[in-house]
């Protein structure tokens, strides 16, 4: 019996040796490794981003502010707008967030560089000073577009972006100009012109350097309006319209949310991804400052339609809101502003809650 076992082992070894010689065993091993690799799901760390809305106050000083429904002025007793809400100095706050564990920091100049971005020395100085002490990716947004200054000098969006990169930015965030670019792209039958700010900057610096920031708002639809609507329709799970509506489309806006356009967020997301955007920052205007959680319906709908990372923004009020948006939509990053500025929710608390919910975060 022992001899038969030995013979079987010898036979098996001989077959293995022959298979190895013929290369069969190696091919099988490679197939097994390839199969195991495919079956393993890569889990990337979720990013927590601190956003600083920067603008000049009435004295001309750059301050970090925060709007409620995009209104950045303090309310007075008679209901009129008071002074610009001042939550701190941009460089100081950026340093604080870096030390508290923010994975990235975004500056949004919400006055859109009225004097022209290339000549906006204070904002460029903010970038330069921040980059010396803050060692996480910095994004700058506001005014990334072609423009002509008061002296008649013309600059391209690429010129503007290049100045920011030289001043310490890792990415630029394009807002209104991205909406116009998407409209032109669709109007041309989805033909790229090569002239849009997205195409220019991603072509020169790479897709990863371009973030598109979109500010959509809900347009609720009655049953009749729903039948006639030509836009991408979403059926919110948590929310209902003022008249009990169960469907809406998300209208993209420009000029800081002051002007609506006839393009929905889902359609825009697909267009800018095709044009070369590397990330999409999704700010739901209806949830801004509400602290009731991110708009899961909007974010999930858009994230599932594109193959570039999506940053969830607007509505965070507690650590649970970050875990919820990551778990329910699979987005790569969550962004907040006011709750971090006012120390209502520490970044450390957000990350701890995520760890407790088995979400991977950077220490």
pLDDT in tens, 89-107: 888 999 999 999 999 999 9
Domain borders along the chain are 47-356
What are the tens digits of pLDDT across the range 136-166?
999 999 888 998 888 888 999 999 999 999 9
Residue 61 CB-half CA count within 13 A: 13
Helix, strand, coil shares of the chain as percentages rounded to 5?
40, 25, 35
66 has a pLDDT exceeding 60: no
Active site (catalytic) residues: 53, 215
Burial letters 5-36, b for 16+ CB under 10 A, else e:
eeeeeeeeeeeeeeeeeeeeeeeeeeeeeeee
Integer Cα distance of 77 and 261 in angstroms = 34
- Write the CB contacts of 124 (distance below 8 Å, at least 6 apart in sequence): 163, 164, 167
- Quickly count: other Cβ atoms within 10 Å of residue 51's Cβ: 29
- CA 210 to chain centroid: 10
pTM, two decimals, is 0.82
Question: Residue 300, by phi and psi: left (phi above 0), alpha (psi -120 to 50) or beta?
Answer: alpha
- Token pair in block for residue 237: 């799970």
| CATH code for the domain defined by 47-356 | 3.20.20.70
Tell me which of 29-43, 123-137, 221-235 is least confident: 29-43
Residue 120 above 80 pLDDT?
Answer: no
Half-sphere exposure of 313 (CA within 13 A, CB side): 25
């Amino acid at each position: 019996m022992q001899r038969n076992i030995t013979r079987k082992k010898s036979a098996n070894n001989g077959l293995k040796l022959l298979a190895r010689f013929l290369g069969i065993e190696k091919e099988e091993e490679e197939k097994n490794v390839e199969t195991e690799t495919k079956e393993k799901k890569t889990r990337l760390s979720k990013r927590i981003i601190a956003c600083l809305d920067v603008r000049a106050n009435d004295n001309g000083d750059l301050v970090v502010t925060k709007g409620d429904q995009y209104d950045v002025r303090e309310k007075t007793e008679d209901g009129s707008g008071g002074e610009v809400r001042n939550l701190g100095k941009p460089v100081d706050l950026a340093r604080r967030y870096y030390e508290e564990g923010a994975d990235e920091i975004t500056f949004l100049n919400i006055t859109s560089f009225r004097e022209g971005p290339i000549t906006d020395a204070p904002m460029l100085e903010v970038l330069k000073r921040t980059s010396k002490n803050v060692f996480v990716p910095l994004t700058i947004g506001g005014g990334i577009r072609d423009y002509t200054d008061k002296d008649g000098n013309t600059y391209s969006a690429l010129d503007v972006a290049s100045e920011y990169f030289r001043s310490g930015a890792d990415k630029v965030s394009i807002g209104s100009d991205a909406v116009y670019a998407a409209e032109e792209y669709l109007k041309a039958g989805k033909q790229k012109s090569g002239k849009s700010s997205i195409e220019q900057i991603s072509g020169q610096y790479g897709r990863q350097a371009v973030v598109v920031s979109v500010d959509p708002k809900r347009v609720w639809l009655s049953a009749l309006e729903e039948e006639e609507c030509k836009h991408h329709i979403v059926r919110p799970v948590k929310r209902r319209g003022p008249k009990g509506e169960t469907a809406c489309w998300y209208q993209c806006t420009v000029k800081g949310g002051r002007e609506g356009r006839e393009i929905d967020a889902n359609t825009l997301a697909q267009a800018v991804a095709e044009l070369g955007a590397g990330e999409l920052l999704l700010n739901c205007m209806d949830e801004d400052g509400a602290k009731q959680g991110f708009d899961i319906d909007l974010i999930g709908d858009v994230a599932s339609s594109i193959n570039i990372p999506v940053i969830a923004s607007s509505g965070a009020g507690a650590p649970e809101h970050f875990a919820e948006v990551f778990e329910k939509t699979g987005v790569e990053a969550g962004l907040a502003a006011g709750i971090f500025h006012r120390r209502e929710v520490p970044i450390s608390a957000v990350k701890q809650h995520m760890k407790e919910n088995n979400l991977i975060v950077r220490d």
